[in-house]
Chains A and B, each alone.
Chain A
């Protein structure tokens, strides 16, 4: 079957088979180092993408569901100011993740801040289970999220004030 959708702002048309996982289809469409099909079971979060603004595990999503949607991978998201705020927060809190989970964690935080601009600690802890990482200190990560939120809100409100 042929599906079309928008990937990081660019229209795509591609052939898929009915059982294809979205993550593998996306990998074939370009160089996306952020997509690391790891557990293939919704555990690790190394395949997170935004589909129509919602964060999804692309390993668990059948490719046909992408039809007509707009998909943003980390590579598409990384150019945004929102991404810079998160990187700032992670660095300031000394919680900068390793290369293996960094992109997934940034997507996870982006999703949280999009839904809850000023998250509580419980919201952060809830969201943390999306990406598995044996080396995270939850307190530092929570601090990073709050710093990112502060930075993001300042920027957005400043713009709104103007």
Chain B
């Protein structure tokens, strides 16, 4: 890459090539669980070689990354498709072919696939929290309801399939890959090659909409490419085929959330007993974070005097499952919203009325967190949303239609729902590399400003925001401001770009660094560089482990309404309109924010209507037939920002659709069909079956 390159034109792995470059394809396990695995070494054409764990160890390299992940399965296999080794050679297609035909011998074991009831050896992380006296409250309560809500495994279609390229550049090894967390890639590669982190440079390639699916997996692929490059002494590129990307990259975890509630006649919560089970597949280094985020979110918006909250991350012998936008919170929001719907249907109220009596208000908190300092703007949000979507009238008329025509035989099957949600910039984990952020701005002799955030984002809206902020402070044209492509070297310890950090933390660092540069601007000779850095306080504003502190630090608030229609012949649900009302502080680049939200809304809807990924499924071509909303049937999307907050600092908003839309979609579906499926996603045929039964 040249120094002039900006992140507006990040390279893609598919077209990166180096002289003498080799390609590597991953040999994958056929068993879901096995021991004493031994890779069979077949006869290979000249110029091709197999890299197996034994050879890697013999060369003095390591199979384990700094965070304890195994780059290749050695003796034990924990899921079907787990990497066992590599075939390296000059022709990528032949490498693929050879990798697919290379076998291993092993002693197969019975895989652990059960997860809703599990053994203690399957628990990767668990946590229990209690407030008040739930037992007593349940004994006394008149209305006690219990239900289980399931969320399926979702796949996100990434722009470019997973991959990594390792090549020497002078005395350093350069790693090219699409990672949201370059510092993690660098530390992982350094650990497996047993070299100092200073010897590794990570250059980020096009990320697209990564949705937290590219936090840690790219580090493993980068380690595989780096090991191959080191052993072959040539640049090596690994690039998954689309099919491989679909079958073997991490998906959103499966969840089952059991909610038992005790309520009074108005639907006010008296007690809650909640059990969250997340199936994380074979492993997930972020299991603890998933559990903590889900626990924070499930009772985040509502207050209740007595709560028992129990959550588990459970290991099974399927591919690693983890985060996909909003890190665990969408499961929680979906379950609690679905339960409120359920209660509403029982006590003849609207879900909005039940939410109104339970919503957290100023001076209240759960689990001993600091009481809320100011009122959350939900009342304003929901009023605006109801007005925009004509919610009350539509809700009442669809209820009427449903009562007159149970089973929906006359053809109009519609529903509307409204949900509330939030996203925060909460810190997670306490390691410095997760919580340190640095921004450098440099004004060169041509009066062009370059911004180096060291953080990898795929969002064009965020990059536009940083440019506008810097251009505003320095009173210069945005055309003269460039965002440098993220490069991670030893001098930089930068946390992952996830949650709202790009909007809150990085933007304020861009502003600080630009102000510092402005002070030096007419005093020092060009080029001038200034740097702003933040290490988030060790005592975090919100500690999701202990649920202490301010749970809504840096929060953006939103309400989402959706109207859907069910095709009476096929049962397929299609969204007609989506409305969002958002309070995300100051909106710096209005058009870009709206454009990026629209794209996120469509992605979130695709997750709701798409087919569930079946990790145990056998058809390899499923990736070609993923159900998606056709551009010609995109719903009307209407987004409004709350105006009075314009003066406050900007906050993140990209995850709001992922947090709120599944819950809203489910609620609208429930209203339309008049039954509670208690799961997402749902196929048209299943909806038809439910309608028939009704």
- Complex alpha-carbon distance, A138 and B630, angstroms: 11
A135 touches B209 (CB 8 A): yes
* Interface contact A137-B595, CB-CB below 8 Å: yes
Contacts of A126 in B (CB 8 A): 631-632
Judge if B130 is at the interface, Cβ distance under 8 Å. no
Contact call B632/A100, Cβ cutoff below 8 A: no
Inter-chain contacts of A100 with B (CB < 8 A): 12, 14, 159-160, 206, 208
Residues of B within 8 A of A133 (CB): 159
Q: Does B10 contact A (CB under 8 A)?
A: yes
Interface string of A99-117 (1 = CB under 8 A from B): 1110000000000000000
Q: Is the CB of A135 within 8 A of B458?
A: yes
Interface residues of A in 25-75 (CB under 8 A from B): 33, 36, 38-41, 43-44
- Among A24, A38, A125, max chain B CB count under 10 A is at A38
Smallest CB gap from A24: residue in B: B93
Cβ-defined partner of A33 (8 Å) among B15, B157, B242, B595: B15
Which chain B residue lies CB-closest to A42? B624
B9 is an interface residue with CB less than 8 A from chain A: yes
Q: Identify which of residues 621-648 in chain B touch chain A, using a CB-to-CB cut-off of 8 Å.
A: 621, 623-624, 630-632, 634
Interface contact A94-B595, CB-CB below 8 Å: yes
Complexed CA–CA distance, A94 and B11 (Å): 19
Could you list 18 examples of A-B contacts with CB < 8 Å? A38-B161, A39-B624, A43-B242, A96-B8, A98-B458, A100-B206, A101-B159, A122-B632, A126-B631, A129-B631, A129-B632, A134-B603, A135-B159, A135-B208, A137-B594, A138-B602, A138-B631, A140-B595
List the A side residues contacting B482 at CB < 8 Å. Answer: none
Chain A residues whose C-beta falls within 8 Å of the C-beta of B12 in the assembled complex: 36, 98-100
Residues of chain A within 8 A (CB-CB) of B621 are: 41
**B156 interface residue (CB < 8 Å to A):** yes
Contact of B599 with A by CB under 8 A? yes
What is the CA–CA distance of A39 and B240 in the complex, to the nearest angstrom?
A: 11
In the complex, the number of residue pairs spanning A and B with C-beta atoms less than 8 Å apart equals 84
CB pair A125–B632 under 8 Å, yes or no, is yes
Report the nearest A residue to B591, measured CB to CB: A94
Task: Answer whether residue B592 sits at the interface, using C-beta atoms and an 8 A cutoff.
Answer: yes
* Residues of B bordering A, CB below 8 Å: 8-12, 14-15, 93, 156-161, 206, 208-209, 241-242, 458, 460, 464, 591-592, 594-596, 598-599, 602-603, 621, 623-624, 630-632, 634
A132 contacts B157, C-beta separation under 8 Å: yes
The digit string for A78-110, where 1 denotes a CB below 8 A from any CB of B, is 000000000000000011101111000000000
Q: Smallest CB–CB gap between A22 and chain B, Å?
A: 15
B435 to chain A, nearest CB (A): 27
CB distance from A86 to the nearest CB of B (A): 17
CB contact between A139 and one of B14, B15, B208, B595 (< 8 Å): that residue: B595
Query: Which residues of B are found within 8 Å of A136, using beta-carbon distances?
Result: 599
Q: Please list the residues of chain A having a beta carbon within 8 angstroms of any beta carbon in chain B.
A: 24, 33, 36, 38-41, 43-44, 94-96, 98-101, 122, 125-126, 128-129, 132-140
Q: How far is the CA of A135 from the CA of B602 in the complex (A)?
A: 9
A44 to B246, CA, bound (A): 13
Bound: A100/B245 CA distance, A: 16
Q: Give min CB distance, A90 to chain B, whole Å.
A: 12
Chain B proximity of A101: nearest CB distance (Å): 7
Q: Do A98 and B11 contact each other (CB < 8 Å), given the known contacts A39-B623, A135-B599?
A: no
A residues in contact with B634, CB < 8 Å: 125, 138
B632 vs chain A, min Cβ distance (A): 4
Q: How far in angstroms is the closest Cβ of chain A from B163?
A: 12
- Report B478 CB to chain A, min CB distance, Å: 11
A133 CA to B599 CA in the complex, in Å? 10
Known: A36-B15, A99-B9, A137-B599. 20 other contacts (CB 8 A): A24-B93, A38-B241, A39-B242, A39-B623, A43-B624, A94-B591, A94-B595, A95-B595, A98-B159, A98-B206, A99-B10, A122-B632, A125-B631, A128-B631, A129-B630, A134-B158, A135-B159, A135-B209, A138-B631, A138-B634
- Listed from nearest, the 10 A-B pairs whose CB atoms lie closest are A137-B595, A128-B631, A41-B624, A125-B631, A39-B242, A125-B632, A33-B15, A137-B598, A135-B209, A36-B14
What separation, in Å, do the CA atoms of A101 and B623 have in the docked complex? Answer: 18
Residues of B within 8 A of A125 (CB): 631-632, 634
Kindly provide the distance from the CB of B481 to the nearest chain A CB, expressed in whole angstroms. Answer: 15
Least Cβ distance of B661 to chain A in Å? 15
Bound CA span A33–B158, Å: 19
Interface-centre pick from B9, B157, B208, B242 (highest chain A CB count, 10 A): B242
CA distance A125 to B635 in the complex (A): 12
* Contacting residues, chain A, for B464 (C-beta < 8 A): 94
Complex CA gap A24/B91 in Å reads 12
**A38 and B631 contacting across the interface, CB-CB below 8 Å:** no
Closest to B14 in A: A36
The answer for the CA separation of A15 and B621 in the assembled complex, in Å, is 30
A58 and B402 CA atoms in complex are apart in Å by 49
Q: Which of B9, B11, B209, B241 contacts A134 (CB 8 A)?
A: B209
Query: Which A residues touch B631, using CB under 8 A?
Result: 125-126, 128-129, 138
Q: Which of A44, A98, A132, A137 is close to B596, meaning CB atoms less than 8 Å apart?
A: A137
- The reply to whether A134 and B15 contact each other, CB–CB distance below 8 Å, is no
User: How long is the Cα–Cα vector from A99 to B15 in the complex, in angstroms?
Assistant: 10
A38 to B239, CA, bound (A): 10
Complex: how many Å from CA A129 to CA B538? 48
A36→B163 CA distance, assembly (Å): 14
With contacts A39-B242, A40-B242, A99-B10 known, is A134 near B157, CB below 8 A?
yes
Q: How far is the CA of A98 from the CA of B541 in the complex (A)?
A: 36
